[in-house]
Amino acid sequence: MAMTEKQPAPSRPAKYLVCVDHREESRVALRLACMKAKARNASIDLLHVINLGDFQTLGGVAERMREEQTTEAQDLLNSLAEDMRLTYGITPGTVLREGNIGDVILNMANEDPQTIIIYLGIAQQSSSRGTLAAWLAGQLGSKLFIPLLMVPGNLTDQQLESLV
C-alpha cells in the first residue's frame, strides 16, 4: 500500500470577532481589532447581543421593547461599520443576535472556523462586564477554542498602536 503525503490545509483568511455595545470600552477593543486587521489583512465581524432576559417579565410591553432595542442595536452596528469603512477601509460583517450574551459569543466563535480571536472591551472598574469576561475566560479550554483578548477600555490610541 502506497503512502500518500498529507496535503497542507488551504490557508484561510483570519477573522476577528469583536463584541460591541454602546460602551466606550467596546470602541477601544474595536479600534485595536481594526488596527490589527488592517496590518494582517484580516476581516472583522461585529457582534451585538440583545439579552432576552430583559423582556421576560413585561408581558405585552416586551415586544415593543424588543423592537426598540433591535432598532437601536442595528443603528449601532451600522454606525460602527461606517466608521470602520471611513477610518480603516474595512467593511465588517455585522451580526445581531438575541440570547444569553456569553452563550451567543461562544456559539459565534465556535461556528465560524475563520474566527481566530475574540475582542472584548472591559471597563477599568468592576462591572457586570467583568462577570462576562470572567465567565468567558472560564470557558477557555473547555468550550472556547480560540483566544479571548480582553482590551482595557482606558487604553489610548498610542498604546493601542504599540500593541499592533
Grid cell of 106 as nine digits: 461562544
CB atoms within 10 A of CB 75: 10
Give residue 32's identity as a one-letter amino acid code: L
Q: Each residue of 81-116: b (16+ CB within 10 Å) or e?
A: beebeeebebebebbebbeebbebbbebbeeeeebb
The pTM (predicted TM-score) of the whole model is: 0.82
What 3-state DSSP class applies to 60?
Answer: coil
Fold of 15-163: Rossmann fold (3.40.50)
Distance from C-alpha of 67 to C-alpha of 152, rounded to nearest angstrom: 31
Confidence of residue 57 (pLDDT cuts 50, 70, 90): low
**Residue 29, CA distances (Å) to 40, 99, 104, 123 in order:** 16, 22, 18, 11
Q: Is the pLDDT reported for residue 128 higher than 80?
A: no
71, 73, 79, 82 alpha-carbon torsion, rounded to 10°: -100
- Which tens digits make up the pLDDT trace of 71-93? 999 999 999 999 999 999 999 99
pLDDT of residue 1 exceeding 50? no
| Between 138 and 31, the higher pLDDT residue | 31
